[in-house]
Structure 1
Amino acid sequence: MSLSYILIEKKNRPHISYDIEEGSAKHKFFLPITAVILFKGLTNEIKKRNNLDFLDYKRQSIIDKFQKKAVKDGYIIEFNSSMSKEPSLVIDNTTNFEMIVPTFYESEFYLYGEIYQEGGKNPNLHISTKKYGNLTVSATKEQIMDGEKKTYKPYGIKVRGKRSFEDDSLTDLELIEFIQYKPVFNKSLLDKVIEKASVNLSKITNVDAWLDDIKAEGI
């Protein structure tokens, strides 16, 4: 079973073979029948609705990139599968699918790292995080002046702000509270926790899958 394009996560993408023909390029994916059915169903639904509003952000973004490429370079992009001779979706320079999902969402986040600057005319603090690099967080004078000086010390902070669907970047951050933590290794405490948890952990048949299910989103 083969098809020409499918919307799947990077880590699950199959090997690609290229079949070059006169005036066109075919990108073939060889996949299980279930993936082909999913692909055909998604592209047929896009064609039927003539919009992307039922897709999640990532899939809308992929279709939008094809659409922009077709408009920019005058391409005609056909999505086919071996289940049908007719393309299930065609994108060309007249296609106008609108992305209607929001580009960001507002929420509260926990950030951990070293505060390397605080204060300023418009009060704020700067924190260096492992995942997101240097971030600026607005704060009040009272929040910054309360307690000991925090510059060049490891801190956790609870903030509210916006997170991008496209690249996970954080913007418009406002400080809610400081959470001081001391990353000190305590072997005795760790051994006690492991011993206490071992009874139930030994009953888990697939530890990796279990851990994936309970993982919290870290920043």
Structure 2
Amino acid sequence: MEEQGYIELRVNNTDNTLTPKDIDINEVKDFISDIESFLYPNRREKLNRPQISYDIEEGSAKHKFFMPITAVILFNGLTSEIKNRNNLDFLDFKRQAIIDKFQKTANKNGYTIEFNNSMAKESTLVISDSTNFEMITPVFYISEFYLYGEIYQEGGKTPNVHISTKKYGNLTISATKEQIVNGEKKTYKAYGVKVRGKKSFEDENKLTELELIEFIKYKPVFNRSLLNKVIEKASVNLSKISNVDTWIDDLKAEGI
């Protein structure tokens, strides 16, 4: 069995009167979720993470997480580096957002949050209402997306397609004349489009600078016979994939 250790978030208020009984369950839930995401930011890592157990102790309020020593080493290294650099530049967006969330919690409640672990003799990081870490990760990332809805306008002097989607509202997609004129007239018909563009890290509902890759004829009528044929055809190759969840996570395009 791998050597075990712990990480600890010691939380105190301005007059040093905080106890575990003062911590609301929603706050406990946030601490647990945020620590898990800080150590294992993406879905695949969460699925494969080791067991982590939790306890809350006296001494202000100590949120303690017990886990394999390799996870403690990761936590120790990341929090120490934040303290040494005094910035979040080197972190991925998800980890930056979590530190920012701790900072907002400290500001809102007048907390001081000390990050400790079983490897370090003193706090590797302290966040309080005077801490001022800034997130600098780019606001958008570029990817490919599938959009579905009714095309309500196409063409124009600068060729583009306007599509109305249920979740994202009306979107404008730049296109070429050839893409628009080829095939049937698409206005006021349900279509799918594969596009390339930017998606916001902060607001997953925000898409910008969309460019048309291709149209996909969208038929929202359920066809059991067709579905069975597709499943039968796909099963041959799917059976060769050892880990389907990992394979799906690695897909580049996003369905919207």
Aligned positions of 1:173-188 closer than 5 A: 173-181=209-217, 185=226
Kindly indicate whether structure 1 or structure 2 has the higher relative contact order, using CA contacts under 8 Å at least 6 residues apart: 2
Report what 1:47 is aligned to.
83
Report the TM-score, using the length of structure 2 for normalisation.
0.65
In the alignment, which residue of structure 1 is the partner of 2:68?
A: 32
Matched residue, 2:110: 74
- Looking at structure 2, the residues matched to 32 and 20 of structure 1 have their Cα atoms a distance apart, in angstroms, of 23
User: Could you tell me the percent identity over the aligned residues?
Assistant: 39
Q: 1:151 to 1:69 in 2, by over 3 A?
A: same
* Alignment size in residue pairs: 208
Structure 1 residue 112 corresponds to structure 2 residue 147: yes
1:8 is the counterpart of 2:39: yes
Superposed, which structure 2 residues align to 1:172-211 within 5 Å? 172-181=208-217, 185=226, 191=232, 194=235, 197=237, 201=240, 206-208=242-244, 211=247
Per-residue CA deviation, residues 143-191 of structure 1 (Å, 9 max, x unaligned), is: 89734134242x2323343211234333224442541335672756765
For 1:127, the aligned partner's letter is S
SS in structure 2 opposite 1:84? coil
Matched-pair contact (CA < 8 Å) for 1:108–1:158: no
User: What secondary structure does 1:71 align onto?
Assistant: helix
Per-residue deviation, 1:8: 2.4
CA gap of 1:108–1:194, structure 2 versus 1, over 3 A, is: closer
From 202, 212, 218, the equivalent of 1:166 is 202
What displacement does 1:91 show?
1.0
Q: Which residue of 1 aligns with 2:95?
A: 59
- Cα distance between partner residues in 2 of 1:178 and 1:104: 22
Q: CA shift at 1:215, angstroms? A: 3.0
Q: Match for 2:200: what amino acid?
A: S
RMSD across aligned C-alpha pairs, in angstroms?
3.6
Is the CA contact 1:103–1:165 (under 8 Å) kept in the aligned structure 2? yes
> Structure 2 counterpart of 1:3, which letter?
I
5+ residue gaps, structure 2 = 10-34
Q: Is the 8 A contact 1:159 1:173 kept in 2?
A: no
Residue in structure 1 matching 2:164, options 127, 140, 143: 127
Select which of 139, 149, 153 maps to 1:103.
139
Q: 1:101: how far off? A: 1.3
Q: Is the 8 A contact 1:3 1:80 kept in 2?
A: yes
Please identify, of 176-185 and 84-93, the stretch whose mean Cα deviation from structure 2 is larger: 176-185
- Residue 91 of structure 1 aligns with which residue? 127
- 2 CA distance for matches of 1:157 and 1:85? 56
Measured at CA, do residues 98 and 110 of structure 1 come closer, stay the same or move farther in structure 2, by a change above 3 Å? closer
Confirm or deny: 8 A CA contact 2:173 2:212 kept in the other structure.
no
User: In structure 1, what is the Cα distance between the partners aligned to 2:143 and 2:118?
Assistant: 46
Q: Is the 8 A contact 2:143 2:199 kept in 1?
A: no
